């Protein structure tokens, strides 16, 4: 187990600056997820930690060792790639032990480690099979096993589940989480799947254009996103965004967007918010309540579209010039065209400055 510290890291590839003054501290035993859109630099960061790229500036420290210029093999890292690239002619056992055999580890020790990993990953029965005789999920587990036998200080995963179908993904996701609980190993895990990020991470680092936008627990990143980019990246359907103007008069604060007016007096502003400024109001679909039985409510809307999701349903509602998505239980039957009275819990909303770059 070891911590990982990235200090002012710059990486340039093919003349393009990919990572810019990146700072990141991963605690010993932490499960850190790097989340971000395609091309934002997640794999580049992971490969830099593994030692596959030359560093332009900055430092990489694993445990108490500066490994900025160390050879990949001297970094005590186990890595699982997106394409698991097993050796097709070797059986599972030999695939898993290959690295150890090359490193000259003695036979008894190799057997012990392979058996332990096979146990953890439920591969015991499959040790004599070749990759072509395995399912996608089993192959992926072999790839994880190959990293596990190395007794690494840090495990790096680059979208290890992205080739699998939804059901298998969910299964392996749970297994990975269990594995982390059992090993309490330091893990850095790249994904652009928000469900994986939310369910696996101790902390999530959301990246955009080679920079970390926010790093915090899943609950904070989801509940108090630092800007519109982070807010829009997590959650499905996405957070509702309304461009409006913040008015402060007396003790009352409102966000106004044409006809649409919401009282946000209860919103916990981070600092004093000046009146008459442009803002973006963000409301998660599950934080809009439907006021059954004619409760007092300031907003009314008309149902445009209904998406049944099984356990719940999404209503798309035309609301005084804004289209809002509402996450609601599936027991009530709604009709397209019906009018609803809505209430919004302003304490759970997000308000950003007009350019979307900062939470207010
Ligand atoms: N060898 C290279 N030379 C030049 N540019 C590169 C090289 N490798 C990657 N890039 C560029 O660096 C940026 C970041 O790439 P990276 O692979 O780290 O993204 P990513 O976040 O892992 O994306 P994805 O989710 O698609 O895997 C991209 O714009 C990519 O085109
Ligand atoms: Mg990648």
- Average pLDDT of the residues in 290-297: 61
Pocket test for ligand 1, best of 14, 36, 39 (most atoms within 8 A of CB): 39
- What topology is assigned to 240-353 in CATH? OB fold (Dihydrolipoamide Acetyltransferase, E2P) (2.40.50)
Q: What is the mean pLDDT of residues 299-316?
A: 95
Kindly report the average pLDDT of the chain as a whole number. Answer: 92
Closest ligand (CA of 37): 1
Give me ligand 2 centre to Cα 38, in Å.
Answer: 7
Rounded Cα distance between 4 and 22, Å, is 13
pLDDT for position 66: 97
Into which CATH architecture does domain 4-233 fall?
3-Layer(aba) Sandwich (3.40)
Give the tens place of pLDDT for each residue, 210-266. Answer: 999 999 999 999 999 999 999 999 999 999 999 999 999 888 899 999 888 999 999
Task: Write out the two tokens for 195.
Answer: 């469900």
Q: Decide: 35 in ligand 1 pocket, CB within 6 A.
A: no
- For atom 13 of ligand 1, the residue with the nearest CA is 39
Strands 322-329 and 252-257, bridge-based pairing: unpaired
| 43-52, 76-85, 182-191: least confident range | 76-85
Query: Around Cβ 266, how many Cβ atoms within 10 Å?
Result: 11
Domain ranges of the chain: 4-233, 240-353
Per-residue pLDDT band for 293 (boundaries 50, 70, 90) equals low
Tens digits of residue pLDDT in 150-201: 878 899 999 988 877 788 788 889 888 988 998 889 999 999 889 999 999 9
Task: Read off the pLDDT of each residue in 301-306 and give the average, rounded to a whole number.
Answer: 96
Please report, in angstroms and rounded to a whole number, the separation of the first and last CA atoms in the chain: 38
Residue 158 Cα to ligand 2 midpoint, Å, equals 7
Burial (CB count within 10 angstroms: exposed 0-12, middle 13-18, buried 19+), residue 31: buried
> Do the bridges between strand 312-319 and strand 277-283 make them parallel or antiparallel, or are there none, so unpaired?
unpaired
Q: What is the pLDDT of residue 298?
A: 67
pLDDT, mean of residues 48-76: 94
Q: What is the pLDDT of residue 295?
A: 47
Question: Please, which pLDDT band fits residue 105 given cuts at 50, 70 and 90?
Answer: very high
Q: How far is the CA of 38 from the centre of ligand 1 (A)?
A: 8
CA of 16 to the centre of ligand 1 (A): 10
Instruction: Please work out whether the CB of residue 94 comes within 6 Å of at least one atom of ligand 1.
Output: no
Ligand 2 centroid–CA 162 distance in Å is 11
43 in ligand 1 pocket by Cβ < 6 Å? yes
Looking at the predicted structure, is the pLDDT value of residue 314 above 80? Answer: yes
85 vs 210, residue with greater confidence: 210
Ligand sitting nearest the alpha carbon of 45: 1
Is the shortest distance between the CB of 41 and ligand 1 below 6 Å?
Answer: yes
Is residue 7 classed exposed, middle or buried when 0-12, 13-18 and 19+ CB atoms within 10 A define those classes?
middle
The residues with which 319 forms a beta bridge, in sequence order, are 322
Identify whether the C-beta of residue 5 lies closer than 8 Å to the C-beta of residue 61. Answer: yes
Ligand 2 centroid to 66 CA: how many Å? 25
Ligand closest to the CA atom of residue 42: 1
């Amino acid at each position: 187990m070891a911590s990982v510290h990235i200090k002012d890291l710059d990486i340039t590839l093919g003349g393009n600056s990919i990572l810019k003054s990146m700072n990141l501290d991963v605690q010993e035993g932490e499960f850190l997820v790097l989340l971000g859109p395609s091309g934002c630099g997640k794999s580049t960061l992971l490969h830099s930690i593994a030692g596959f790229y030359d560093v332009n500036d900055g430092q990489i420290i694993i445990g108490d060792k500066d490994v900025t210029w160390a050879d990949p093999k001297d970094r005590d890292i186990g890595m699982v790639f997106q394409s698991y690239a097993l050796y097709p002619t070797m059986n599972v056992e030999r695939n898993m032990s290959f690295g150890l055999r090359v490193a000259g580890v003695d036979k008894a020790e190799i057997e012990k480690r392979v058996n332990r990993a096979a146990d953890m990953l439920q591969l015991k029965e499959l040790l004599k099979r070749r990759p072509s005789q395995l399912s996608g999920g089993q192959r992926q587990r072999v790839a994880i096993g190959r990293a596990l036998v190395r007794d690494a200080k840090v495990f790096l995963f680059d979208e290890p589940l992205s080739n699998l179908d939804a059901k298998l993904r969910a299964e392996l996701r749970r297994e990975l989480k269990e594995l982390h609980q059992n090993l309490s190993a330091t893990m850095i895990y790249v994904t652009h799947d928000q469900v994986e990020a939310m369910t696996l991470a101790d902390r999530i680092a959301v990246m955009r254009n080679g920079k970390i936008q926010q790093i915090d627990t899943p609950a904070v990143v989801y509940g108090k996103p630092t800007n519109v980019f982070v807010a829009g990246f997590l959650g499905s359907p996405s957070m509702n965004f309304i461009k409006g103007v913040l008015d402060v008069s007396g003790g009352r604060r409102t966000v106004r967007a044409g006809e649409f007016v919401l009282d946000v007096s209860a919103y916990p502003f981070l600092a004093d918010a000046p009146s008459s400024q442009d803002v973006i109001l963000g409301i998660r679909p599950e934080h809009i309540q439907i006021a059954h039985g004619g409760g007092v409510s300031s907003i009314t809307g008309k149902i445009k579209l209904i998406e049944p999701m099984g356990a719940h349903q999404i209503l798309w509602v035309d609301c005084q010039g804004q289209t809002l998505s509402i996450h609601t239980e599936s027991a009530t039957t709604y009709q397209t065209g019906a009018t609803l009275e809505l209430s919004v819990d302003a304490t759970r909303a997000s308000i950003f400055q007009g350019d979307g770059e900062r939470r207010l």
